[in-house]
């Protein structure tokens, strides 16, 4: 008797609410997927259907024919991968320096890297457009890689500093004793150990660059066209091709979710580490 009561209480007070929240989190995706396999006649039909009578995947090949979606995928991939490499290359030595050395101006510089991540994006977007125009970089990969570095460098510097901090300093000292220079102690000993954290940071940069819309909308659009802008362009004033849009959405979101599951743990620990300790 008490056992069944207990079971019911857990079911109603725990499992059911968690299930509702999970459904709320996934609902839009489920609906996006169902819409993408619904023929247009059903999508705008008289009778509202929660699942199409004749599901079909025709929207998926169609989006590659109607717009240059393969090219958009390629552009997004190039920009995201290049942003990741540039971001890691530039912030790696900076975060090692913050983690390993105590020098004059260190706190000030670290805070500076924290604060610049908080400036409104419009504050940078406007002058960057002007600069890119002068440098004739509008509508090139460089424009986006440079623009994205404005938020990836400060972010990854902080994130990798916390990963480096987790590696004991004695390892550096041992490397020096064994004949490493200070530079090779970093590159040959510490960096390989920090690889999981560096990889997680890199993947996170990749995801944010892949997702970015505002800079891409203003700095590119013809020769270079990333997925978010391409999808936004599908929205006309009156006719919106929801079948195509939802199919494009599904394709573009899959890599993000897959990559995210790989780095979940590191990302959460990086996110919460600073805030929890008091």
Partner 1 sequence: MKRKTDLFPYTLLTPALSVTILIIFFPIVQTAVMSLFNYVIWKPKDTRFIGLGNYLQALQDEVFWISLKNTVFWIVGVIVLQLLLGFVTALLLNREFRWRGLARSLILIPWVTPSVITALMWRWMYDGNNGVINDLLVRIGLLKSYFPWLANSSTALPAIMVALMWQGFPFFAIMILAGLQAIPRTLYEAAEVDGATRLQMFGRITLPMLMPILLTSILLRIIWVANSMDVIFVMTGGGPGYATHTLPVFAFIRAYKGLDFGYASTIAIFLTLLLIAIVAGYVIRVLRTQEALR
Restricted to residues 18-47, the positions that interact with partner 1 (CB under 8 A) are 18, 21-22, 24-26, 28-29, 31-32, 35, 43-44
Residue 72 interacts with partner 1 (CB under 8 A)? Answer: no
Residue 65 interacts with partner 1 (CB under 8 A)? Answer: no
CB of 71 to partner 1, least distance (A): 17
Report the alpha-carbon distance of residue 121 to residue 129 in Å, rounded.
Answer: 12
Residue 7 interacts with partner 1 (CB under 8 A)? Answer: no
Q: Which is nearer to partner 1, 16 or 171 (CB)?
A: 16
Which class for 51: exposed (0-12), middle (13-18), buried (19 or more C-beta within 10 A)?
exposed
What is the per-residue binding string for partner 1 in 153-192, x denoting contact by CB under 8 A? xx--xx--xx--x----------------x---x------
Site for partner 1 in 100-139 (CB under 8 A): 100-104, 106-107, 109-116, 118-131
Q: Which is nearer to partner 1, 23 or 195 (CB)?
A: 23
Assess contact for 202 and 270: CB atoms under 8 A. Answer: no
Residue 201 interacts with partner 1 (CB under 8 A)? Answer: no
DSSP secondary structure letter of residue 47: S
Assess contact for 210 and 253: CB atoms under 8 A. Answer: no
Assess contact for 99 and 164: CB atoms under 8 A. Answer: yes
Report the alpha-carbon distance of residue 178 to residue 157 in Å, rounded.
Answer: 28
Assess contact for 155 and 117: CB atoms under 8 A. Answer: yes
Site for partner 1 in 220-249 (CB under 8 A): 228, 231-232, 235, 242, 245-246, 249
CB of 84 to partner 1, least distance (A): 15
CB of 57 to partner 1, least distance (A): 18
Site for partner 1 in 253-272 (CB under 8 A): 253, 256-257, 260-261, 264, 268, 271-272
Provide CB contacts within 8 A for 150, sequence distance 6+: 116, 124, 128
Coil, strand, or helix at residue 119? coil
Q: How far from chain centre, in Å, is Cα 278?
A: 29
């Amino acid at each position: 008797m008490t056992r069944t009561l207990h079971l019911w209480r857990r079911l109603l007070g725990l499992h059911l609410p968690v299930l509702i929240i999970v459904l709320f989190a996934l609902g839009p995706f489920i609906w996006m997927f169902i819409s993408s396999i619904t023929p247009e006649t059903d999508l705008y039909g008289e009778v509202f259907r929660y699942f199409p009578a004749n599901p079909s995947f025709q929207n998926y090949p169609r989006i590659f024919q109607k717009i240059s979606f393969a090219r958009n995928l390629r552009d997004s991939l190039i920009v995201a991968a290049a942003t990741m490499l540039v971001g890691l290359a530039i912030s790696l030595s900076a975060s090692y320096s913050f983690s390993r050395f105590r020098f004059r101006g260190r706190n000030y510089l670290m805070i500076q890297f924290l604060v610049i991540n908080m400036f409104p994006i419009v504050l940078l977007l406007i002058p960057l457009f002007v600069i890119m125009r002068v440098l004739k970089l509008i509508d090139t990969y460089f424009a986006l890689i440079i623009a994205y570095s404005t938020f990836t460098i400060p972010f990854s510097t902080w994130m990798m500093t916390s990963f480096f901090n987790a590696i004991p300093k004695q390892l550096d000292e041992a490397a020096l004793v064994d004949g490493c220079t200070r530079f090779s102690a970093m590159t040959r000993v510490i960096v390989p150990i920090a690889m999981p954290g560096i990889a997680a940071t890199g993947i996170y940069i990749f995801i944010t660059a892949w997702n970015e819309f505002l800079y891409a909308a203003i700095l590119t659009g013809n020769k270079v066209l990333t997925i978010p802008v391409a999808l936004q362009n599908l929205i006309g004033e009156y006719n919106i091709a929801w079948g195509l849009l939802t199919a494009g959405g599904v394709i573009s979101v899959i890599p993000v979710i897959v990559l995210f599951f790989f780095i979940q743990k590191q990302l959460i620990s990086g996110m919460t580490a600073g805030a929890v300790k008091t």
